[in-house]
Amino acid sequence: MPFSQFLDYLHLEKNYSAHTLTAYKADLSAFQNFLKEEFDSEDLTEVNYPQIRTWIVSLVESGISNRSVNRKVSSLKAYYRFLQKTGHMEISPLAKHRALKTPVKVQVPFSEKEVKQVLDSFETDTFVGIRDKLIVELFYTTGLRRIELINIKAGEIDEENQVIKVLGKRNKERYIPLLASVCESVKAYRSARKALEVSLNGNHFFISESGVKLSESFVYRIINNYFSKVSGKLKTSPHILRHSFATHLLNQGANLNAVKELLGHSSLASTQVYTHNSIAELSKVHKMAHPRNKKD
């Protein structure tokens, strides 16, 4: 079965981004090329696990990190699940595969001070300034994923009821409450957007000055540009803002299950990675409040 059907499935049924689809295609093509060179075959349905294991070993020996190898194998595993689902394969050759061990990667969130510095830096008398400020506010106050923010439609933000409808992974809808201050920023952006003398291409809420839907790389550059000026962190991406949203909520005592729902996670395990950064804050509270730590 050609990759195109699998990629169409990911795009139409799973709502995966163009960036993700490109990564899947590259991973599958790389494995197919490996099969052709090493085993004189391009048929992925006739593959056995020892052949896949040989590919994994070659990737590791080439210097690719275990994390990157696991991602590539994950693409292959997803393809075989699709073949099983569509009746083209009974048993996946990766059915008993175990992922390579990887070090725990703790993302460092922005501090509340850094976020405030960025939000205070915007010039709100221009379309770009108004738009970029709202983008930062939405990432930080709702925990949106980058692709979720890009795909927001004009009618999916309800300022009156202070809520936003989001289409997440696997086309799963969720509603996230909005702060009153963010709703004011939404109104300001709507006015600035309406004042643009351009023909709008589609119904996407966030657009460029020429009326075009924003790309993932464009949104990344917006966040990186503003936060690199106030932060010395190596990573200043939209994901770090999402990370900051979760961490700051947990630091203030938010319920883990509530944060899970806001983030759109399917399992609590995905949300628990954010508790690493709140441990330090919890430790402070614990030491200050516990009676056994009180000195006479």
- φ/ψ of 199, rounded to 5, equals -85, 125
**Catalytic member of 81, 169, 174, 233:** 169
Active site residue 265: yes
Burial degree of 166 (CB within 10 A; 0-12, 13-18, 19+): buried
Please, how many CA atoms are within 13 Å of residue 146, restricted to the half-sphere of its CB?
21
276 among known catalytic residues: no
Question: What is the arrangement of strands in the sheet containing 163-167, beginning at the earlier edge strand?
Answer: 157-158, 163-167, 173-177
How far is Cα 269 from Cα 246, in angstroms, rounded to an integer? 14
Active site residue 146: no
DSSP string for 13-49? TS---HHHHHHHHHHHHHHHHHHHHHHS---GGG--H
Which of 72, 133, 242, 260 is the catalytic position? 242
Tracing tokens 């001070």 back to the chain, one arrives at 113
What six digits make up the tokens of 201?
């291409």
- Catalytic residue from among 77, 146, 193, 265: 265
Catalytic residue among 25, 97, 213, 239: 239
Please report, as a single letter, which amino acid is at residue 143: G
- Residue from 80, 140, 189, 274 carrying the catalytic annotation: 274
Closest CA to 131 of 116, 117, 113, 150: 150
Contacts of 281 (CB under 8 A, 6+ apart): 251
Is 126 within 8 Å of 147 (Cβ atoms)? no
67 part of the active site: no
In Å, how far are 105, 232, 236 from 108, measured between CA atoms?
A: 10, 11, 10
Angle at CA of residue 173, ends 107 and 3, nearest 5°: 75
Q: Which of 77, 131, 133, 145 is labelled catalytic?
A: 145
Catalytic residues: 145, 169, 239, 242, 265, 274
